[in-house]
Amino acid sequence: MRVFNRSDSNVTYSLPELQTRRVFALGESKELEPKEMEALWQMDGGMTIIKDYLCVDDPDWVAKHWDAPIEYFWKTDDVKKCLLEDSLELFQETLEYAPAGVIDLIKMLAWQLPISDLNKIEAIRQATGFDTLAAIEVMSASKERQQPQKKERLRKREG
């Protein structure tokens, strides 16, 4: 089954009984055996990793383990569509029900795209405490600093 990391950071877990250690980088997906997912599900904290940060792209497996929200299966394009096209009401519902990894993705994309809907920016701030406008400002200033302007030479060529 395909499993991918949809949070905004690395996800790591170890399963000593299977002699397995996995690191999922941002956006990385891996093909895993169901027995590994079962072992992770049973491990302390494993349920949280699967529900909030990884996405098991197997609706049947997920349905056997819990009643996942619609947003659980969302990929980056779905989150972009929500940010840019969905109504404010649908967006606020997403912030209420989406897993933590989807919320991380919403916050990351909100300043990267960036979104311009001030109502959605305020909804993100109220739901998560994340200040999208401040992030956009900081990242814009950072980009400007990374590209220093060439100074005009003091010494001029003669002739």
- Looking at the predicted structure, is the pLDDT value of residue 152 above 80? no
Higher pLDDT, 91 or 75: 91
Tokens representing residue 85 in the block: 């096209």
Q: The tokens of 98 are what? A: 């989406």
- Give every CB contact of residue 111 below 8 A, 6+ residues apart in sequence: 132, 135, 136, 139
CA distance 16 to 14: 6
CA 70 to chain centre: 16
Dist. CA 129–CA 17, nearest whole Å: 39
User: Average pLDDT of 18-27?
Assistant: 94
- Quickly state the pLDDT bin for 143 (edges 50, 70, 90): low
Number of alpha carbons in the 13 Å side-chain half-sphere of residue 65: 20
The mean pLDDT of 42-69, rounded to a whole number, is 95
**Contact present, 46 and 95 (Cβ < 8 Å):** no
Q: 132: phi > 0 → left, psi -120 to 50 → alpha, else beta; which? A: alpha
Give 146's pLDDT tier (boundaries 50, 70, 90).
low
Q: Which amino acid is at 85?
A: E
pLDDT at position 148: 61
Q: Is 115 helix (H, G, I), strand (E, B) or coil?
A: coil
